[in-house]
Structure 1
């Protein structure tokens, strides 16, 4: 059995820290909490679970705080979590099993991070992160925001899911942190530039996001996955601005780095649809239906329920525009298989019935 130090950094997390620690405190052997300036009851809550609470003067650098927390760990392995993360009972049992069975030649373990959910509680966005790492190996964090844990050696993926519980990210706070850092003459590395562009996009600063993401794409950077995401965000920015030809170009450029993703093909189809180039839109909507949304299960899983419905709905519209009513009706009924009570499906069915079509089975 391995021993585990849980290392966390906190600041004003009184609303969620108790649930986090409650879900994991009886599994780990040591709780290391580094607080960066809480003014609420975070520290009082934490002290119910551990007396190893340390203060760290905030210097606008998440990596610095995380590296400090790692430096305090004394056990064989380090598990890191954020205050708004929890383990379900099923995943608690899996972590206990891993603790009991992990081969000590393994240097780091990847787990899935279930990051966002729909209104029914179904996970819609999940990706892999290195969560459990061997101590005393020199592993370290870099990038002052959206920090990255640098690891090497033997690795293992394990089917444990960490659940993120915070509902919204604070884009304005994150953008302000980036701007403050740059005012200090800090030079953003390529990865930080990529994330800055993403924050600008999420905050609605589309022109600034375009400038930053285009700069990122000129950098010497070997992560094709981030390049594809940057191009996808560029396409989104151009789409919001109504510049659909530029959005199309961004999508097509992403194919240089990775096999086309279903979600990118869907975007591409929608841009052609906006330009009333319906035959091209039909091609890409059909391509969407033939693909899966996840290109690498170790990196990202995107909920693909929408792929079953939306392309058919849009194919219904496109075929109607080119006068192929039979195909339009067919795709409306295919959409109905997935969301039968959708108001668009019902409205379209009434239209097709009035035109003498009734393919409902």
Structure 2
């Protein structure tokens, strides 16, 4: 019988359990988008996860969404990540970098550049900037000739990730960021080959994933998706058909995995499970929603055919989450006020469970 604690083979990696630490923005990078010693400690503390997926890492200057986030587009950034990957591997872990292009979810006050997107349609809500939240700006629509360059930026960052010692990469294709914007039917109102029909709207995602797989190997490449999600105001028409078509294009590549968020009804998600022949990582609850993934949600999706289960806030507040779930120990709550405040408080200060006599 498969449980959370059954081992799993993911490409060349042997995972000791089926628990994935989900990517979570923590805005603790140093100036210049550099990874820090505190980030190395943070990820190393959680190395008992079957697989760690990092916070979103920008692949280019214009791809940066939030202040204080790390990058993988300069030599200095690449070198800084080596401390992180070495720390995780020394503690026996495995780690993928999540490559995240913010697209329209950005601001010139953060990057010095006008955000770009598939169309000149702003995100819904306020974006983070060094001066605090500000209304999302109107992005500059990428020309047809410019779109491939943005797709290739994921591959360039992936090459740097492997150079920095990561075991692989996950493309952030979810939650209203650039790939998700192209999949959207309201953020993407293009009339060229990257818009309109389902085949047009999936084209950017397929090109970004294909380029990355070519660059570092398909077995080192995954993608995260949020079918039907409405983050940052995106909407998607024909959700089931859209994602079935996307998975059909990705299936021949032999990717490491597809990471799906529970942003659609279970019937739709099961249809996607049937459409995807490879490894499925399931995030059983909506990210940042009222409920956290627990043992019951994990077991439910393992029973429905998921191969791996991702946990976000549980790993944030419980560096020893694997052992706590294995032995039924209490799960510590997360302090939401420390999510993005910087510093080590609420970052390195969550302890492993303290047994008392």
TM-score, normalized by the shorter chain, greater than 0.5:
no
Normalized per residue, the structure richer in helix is 1
> Scaled by the length of structure 1, what TM-score is found?
0.31
Q: Which has the larger radius of gyration?
A: 1
Bigger relative contact order, structure 1 or 2 (CA pairs below 8 A, ≥6 apart): 2
